[in-house]
Structure 1
Amino acid sequence: MRPWWWVFAGLMGVLVVMGAVNADLHGLLEHRASWWRPLVTFPAHAVILLAWWQLGPRWKRPLLTAAIWSLPMIFSFPLHSRDVYAYGATGWQVDNGFDPYVTTLGAAGQPGLLVGIHWFDTTSVYPSLQLDIFGLLSRLAGADLYWTTVAMRLPAVLALVILAFVLPALARRVGVDPRLALWAGLLNPVILVQWVGGVHNDALMVALAAAAVLAACDLGWRGWRGLVVGGLLLGLAMGIKQSAALFGLGLVAVAWQLRRREGDGWGRLAATAVVPGAITVAAFLASSVSFGLGWRNPTAGNPIEATSNAPLSWVASFFRYHELLPVATANQLVSLASSVLIAIGIVVVWVLLGPRGDTVARPWPFLVAVLVVACVCGPALQPWYVTWFIPFFVLCRLGGRWNRLWLLGVLAAGLLPPLQDLISPYVAMAILAVPLFLMLRSWGGTGYSPLPVA
């Protein structure tokens, strides 16, 4: 098939997914998908993935293709997630003078009724800057449910525009073809479906974090200007979602690779970390003036409450189902276990890949590995969480084995959502694990690499 036919095939896949999801809304209230929906949406997702794969990293129109596939999703009801209704409820609260850190989501009129059973009686978990943006978009849409959903996609569109500039610039710095970076990190169906279709605020967080890393590559003002600007951008990213703090470790590693000179040691590395770190914290606190740090309230939604793709969420679900511990106690224990595991994992990754006084080590694999550890060991893991590191993977310039695992991860994140509309995440993962394992095994020792190896 000619490339433009694959663009058309991907567009048809998007339209089929939208049609099936929008035809199965059950009056918008939270409801498991009808039995037939995955039978339609799963093959459609597979077609989108196949079309993206067939276009390949040498495709000359990745940005235009991303626009063609994304445009219909802007006007769709949310795909595979109800998060946007929480955004809409929060925006309604802000626009009407309520404090989202005090008033529960369910009190926010119609969007509050749609947020889902796990979050109805909880307060907002997002930072103050994000609340301000939700309020602005809700006001822009006149608090209309449909148009608020459309408006909440504008940050995702902005995120794609930012990545369209940032990814090629980062790729050139590490000797990677910019077209490969755009194909793998922006045109990727997981990015487009989850950011635009699923309406997740991870989009702007990741884009600002990527811009922060690029800024840190600037060596002006004797090497400090990039650290200042990078810290500022990372602080704004944290204002969108607190998880952006994890990118700070990778930012320092990348910055150290460019700044270390013969004779530099731990003191210089510490300064390279402290300067952007302090500015990040200051920018985050400055962006929180509207509502403060109320997201830390005990009434805020706890990600452990909902079973997800995170192994620790299964442990919490087991405790709840068998009533082995009070719910609050079980959640606290799982949260503590998650924090300990993430800390241990990051230390291990730092020892293996991270910067030290006498070496720059491997900054890009370090950045990605930190994010992977946080996802796998976290109390919650959703398919859209993998968009944290998808844009950065090709910058690592890894070999065939890691590229194969990357492809399997993309396939899993792309195919799990339609299954999880109907069945539990751990069941969906078990079902999908079989064909993915067989695919990995079929490659065996062939040395096959799905990405060009630089």
Structure 2
Amino acid sequence: MDRWIGWLRPAPGGHPRAPWWWTVAGLVAILSLVGTQFVDAPGLLERGDSWWRAAVSLPALAVLLLAWWQIGPRFRRQWIPSAVWSAPMLMALPMYSRDAYAYAAQGWMVARGVDPYTTALGDAGQPGLLVGVHWFETTAVYPALSLELFGALAQLTGSHPYWTTVALRLPNLLALLLLGLVLRRLARRFALDEGLVIWAGLTNPIMLIQWVGGVHNDALMVALGVAALLAATDLGWRGWRGLLVAGVLLGLAMGIKQSAALYGLGVVAVAWAVRFRSWGAAPAVAGSDAHPARGSAAGWWRLALTAVVPGVVTIAVFALTSLRFGFGWRSPTAGNPVGAMSNAPLSWVAEGLRYPLTDDAANSIVTAVSTLLILAAVAVAWVKLGPRGDDPRDPWAFAMAVLAAFCVLGPALQPWYLTWLLPLYVFWRTGARWHRAWLVVVVGFTLLPALQTMMPPLIAMPLVAVPLGLLWRWMARAAVSPLPAAGR
């Protein structure tokens, strides 16, 4: 077996293998993806991809994954492959999703003084004609700050359907830059290798394809959410400054997408972990073996303050950013993510319920069940992993668990949802088994979009699962850890 794979970069920390050659190989793969997309797009109206496009896209995505792996975390100029691979996607049509056309439609409305919370997306002139069929008759689901951004970019481009989607990539590029700066500082703060953090959490193919190619506004949300985690580590002004700044950043992130609230629990956990020694409780009695904070109610009160202060600021900032448009995204006419089949198990349940029930009834049932499951999962995560007044425990494991619970138990799961977790994964110092799962998920959700644009997820996922199962089996037998393991 070794003679067949000996040319691969050794895991977990092998030196780059011909990084410049693989940078070019990745560029060729991206050009293939963009080129086939233009060729297979007779007009911009929605339809499934041709079979031959998947036949080109899957090998191209595999080459991109291989290029990313071969370059590896020890390559000092990580930004060069990322920039080279991102450049062709800047001018591409929105890749593997039509969400960007929904953004353009909302921008068209804002630029013309039309309320996106009361007007169907399909009524937004030319951009409205390109909105996906599931959302054509729905109203805007995003908060006011996103609408302001969409409107500004639509005014900049004259609401041209194509150029607006190109302009929508500019905030995502800024998000990539911001996230890169934040991850480097977080890596230094928690004594992790910067190259590893950037390679696994930023230059990852999912991040580039979904943020630059797919034009998803999750980019700004994630960048601001992770920036809030960094701010929470600031102990200035006796520990309060970081909490205030984290609250501001979280409020702005929620103004982009409501899901940013999930980062709030991570902010509390990380903030408490870095403040515990000074805030946990009074010093232990000399000569005592007891933990200084154990059994002390003061620790719980200070933990509560660590949660309340950024929480109040977050709510205030979110409310301020919503003054112009209000909270119309809560309207029953707004798009429901469960309305389209996705990679979420509950979306498959909803699809089955639509046969005996109406769409509205099925969506309501699944949404309610999803909410209860997520709340239960978060409660369990807090009990098992979350901060306590006498013990900060593992803040990164808790933050990851909260985000993962929402993705798995939510009414929808799309490949770009993985970008919420990927920047944080390396901070969770875990063992080889989880690292193998991480690589399998990265490979799977990089390849899935090429199939899901021509077939339902229920068919695409098993097709991808077969080679992923073989990859998992080989790594387990060879005791391979894609990332440095922490011995667990």
Q: Shift in Å at residue 22 of structure 1?
A: 1.5
**2:123 aligned to 87, 100, 107, which one?**
107
* Greater mean deviation of Cα atoms: 106-115 or 19-28: 19-28
Q: Shift in Å at residue 447 of structure 1?
A: 3.0
Larger Cα-atom Rg: 2
Q: For the Cα contact (< 8 Å) 2:18–2:71, is it kept in 1? A: no
Q: Distance in 2 between matches of 1:202 and 1:239?
A: 11
Q: Distance in 1 between matches of 2:471 and 2:187?
A: 29
Q: Distance in 2 between matches of 1:372 and 1:135?
A: 32
- 1:326 is matched with 358
- 1:271 is matched with 305
Considering only aligned residues, what root-mean-square deviation do their CA atoms show, in Å? 1.0
**1:378 aligned to 380, 401, 410, which one?**
410
Give TM-score scaled by structure 1 length. Answer: 0.98
Q: For the Cα contact (< 8 Å) 2:153–2:167, is it kept in 1? A: yes
- 1:197 is matched with 213
Letter in 2 for 1:185: G
- 1:280 is matched with 314
Q: For the Cα contact (< 8 Å) 1:13–1:48, is it kept in 2? A: yes
Q: Which structure 1 segments of 5+ residues have no match?
A: none
Q: For the Cα contact (< 8 Å) 1:63–1:164, is it kept in 2? A: no
- 1:449 is matched with 481
- 2:288 is matched with none
**1:406 aligned to 438, 442, 451, which one?**
438
**1:7 aligned to 20, 23, 31, which one?**
23
Give the 3-state SS of the residue equivalent to 1:103 in structure 2.
coil
- 2:188 is matched with 172
Q: Shift in Å at residue 319 of structure 1?
A: 1.3
Q: Shift in Å at residue 453 of structure 1?
A: 3.0
Give the 3-state SS of the residue equivalent to 2:51 in structure 1.
coil
Q: For the Cα contact (< 8 Å) 2:127–2:160, is it kept in 1? A: no
- 1:29 is matched with 45
Q: For the Cα contact (< 8 Å) 1:304–1:331, is it kept in 2? A: yes
Q: Shift in Å at residue 446 of structure 1?
A: 4.0
- 1:343 is matched with 375
Q: Distance in 2 between matches of 1:398 and 1:61?
A: 26
Q: Does residue 315 of structure 1 match 2:349?
A: yes
Q: For the Cα contact (< 8 Å) 1:236–1:283, is it kept in 2? A: yes
Q: Does residue 369 of structure 1 match 2:401?
A: yes
Q: Distance in 2 between matches of 1:190 and 1:272?
A: 33
- 2:422 is matched with 390
Q: Distance in 2 between matches of 1:274 and 1:306?
A: 36
- 2:11 is matched with none
- 2:97 is matched with 81
Give the 3-state SS of the residue equivalent to 2:47 in structure 1.
coil
Q: Does residue 39 of structure 1 match 2:55?
A: yes
**2:36 aligned to 15, 20, 34, which one?**
20
- What is the percentage of aligned positions where both structures have the same residue? 58
1:141-156 paired onto structure 2 within 5 Å = 141-156=157-172
Q: Does residue 304 of structure 1 match 2:304?
A: no
Q: Does residue 159 of structure 1 match 2:175?
A: yes
Q: Does residue 72 of structure 1 match 2:88?
A: yes
Q: Distance in 2 between matches of 1:442 and 1:179?
A: 26
Q: Distance in 1 between matches of 2:377 and 2:477?
A: 29
- 2:325 is matched with 291
- 2:261 is matched with 245
Residues 400-434 of structure 1, C-alpha deviation per residue, up to 9 Å, x if partnerless? 01111000110111000001111111211111111
Residues 330-366 of structure 1, C-alpha deviation per residue, up to 9 Å, x if partnerless? 1100000000110111111111111011100100111
Give the 3-state SS of the residue equivalent to 1:175 in structure 2.
coil
Letter in 2 for 1:272: T
Letter in 1 for 2:53: R
Q: Distance in 1 between matches of 2:99 and 2:127?
A: 10
Residues 282-325 of structure 1, C-alpha deviation per residue, up to 9 Å, x if partnerless? 000001011000000000011111000000000111112xx211
* Greater mean deviation of Cα atoms: 56-65 or 82-91: 56-65
